[in-house]
Amino acid sequence: MTTYFHSSADRARKPLLPGIVTRTFWGEKMLLSLVDLDAQAAIPLHSHPHEQVGMALLGELDLTIAGETRHVIPGDIYIVPGGVEHGLTVGDAPAQVIEAFSPVREEYKY
Amino acid sequence: MTTYFHSSADRARKPLLPGIVTRTFWGEKMLLSLVDLDAQAAIPLHSHPHEQVGMALLGELDLTIAGETRHVIPGDIYIVPGGVEHGLTVGDAPAQVIEAFSPVREEYKY
């Protein structure tokens, strides 16, 4: 991306998994991912070499990192080191999280 | 930080500038900064070698990057490459932004 300013409202959504879409924005070192999740959507346990930091913005979810599961509410922060297994299940209302990855997840560009 | 889960509500605030405080969380490659800004607070033009990506969550502000000023509202995204001059002025209501820096801004740890 060659510009400094973006509107998430104007950005097309990229499907990730059933009931889960993202809007991504990136520089050279980081990719920002604004993820919208339907109620009860789930991301199976997985890992990637990229470090991931995020904050819940809307809704509630059960987030598992390295075998530890926590109930996450808006304002909660999570840090997933590269290579560490993680996944989540959304509660009974839609959720939104914002995350950053470093290095850039090339497969999340569109 | 050695844990995966954090509550921003429970995190002490670190003063940055008059009317501006942050709560930070970090891994090895990125530092996440949740910044609260009083109405009409300002961050003078400055630069740092760290790449910075962010999203406005609350309020409105005038953000300048590399000499270009835009009015930013919640949901707007900004990407500041390392070494590029930037600064902002908050509007007539308090604002909140979430930002990530890479590499970690060591002076933002506390």
**pLDDT mean values, one per 10 residues, chain B (110 residues):** 90 97 98 98 98 98 97 98 98 98 96
C-alpha to C-alpha distance for B83 and B72, rounded to whole angstroms = 21
Cβ of residue A63 closer than 8 Å to a chain B Cβ: yes
Q: Helix (H, G, I), strand (E, B), or coil: what is residue A58? A: strand
Please give the pLDDT value at position A81. Answer: 98
Instruction: List Cβ<8 Å contacts ≥24 apart for B16-25.
Output: B16/B43, B17/B41, B17/B42, B17/B43, B19/B90, B22/B108, B24/B108, B24/B109, B24/B110, B25/A53, B25/A77, B25/A79, B25/B1
Average per-residue pLDDT for chain A: 97
Residues of chain B with Cβ-Cβ distance to A63 below 8 Å are: 5
- Residue B8 has what pLDDT? 97
Q: For the domain bounded by A12-108, which CATH number is listed?
A: 2.60.120.10
Rounded average pLDDT over A72-100 = 98
Q: What is the mean pLDDT of residues A42-70?
A: 98
Looking at the complex, does the CB of residue A1 fall below 8 Å from at least one CB of chain B? Answer: yes
Q: Is B68 on the interface with A (CB under 8 A)?
A: yes
Residue B2 has a pLDDT of: 66
Tokens of B21: 């405080």
Hey, where are the domains in chain A?
A: 12-108
**Using CB atoms and an 8 Å cut-off, which of residues 87-106 of chain A contact chain B?**
98, 100, 102-103
Mean pLDDT, residues A66-75: 97
Within an 8 Å CB–CB cutoff, is residue B20 touching chain A?
Answer: no
Predicted TM-score of the model (pTM): 0.97
Tell me if B51 sits within 8 A of B81, measured CB to CB.
yes
How confident is residue A58, by pLDDT bands cut at 50, 70 and 90? very high
Residue A31 has pLDDT above 80, yes or no: yes
Please say if the pLDDT value at position A2 is more than 70.
no
In the predicted structure, residue A9 carries a pLDDT above the cut 90: yes
Distance in Å from the first CA to the final CA of chain A:
10
* Nearest beta carbon to residue B1 from set A66, A76, A79: A79
Q: What's the distance, CA A65 to chain centroid?
A: 13
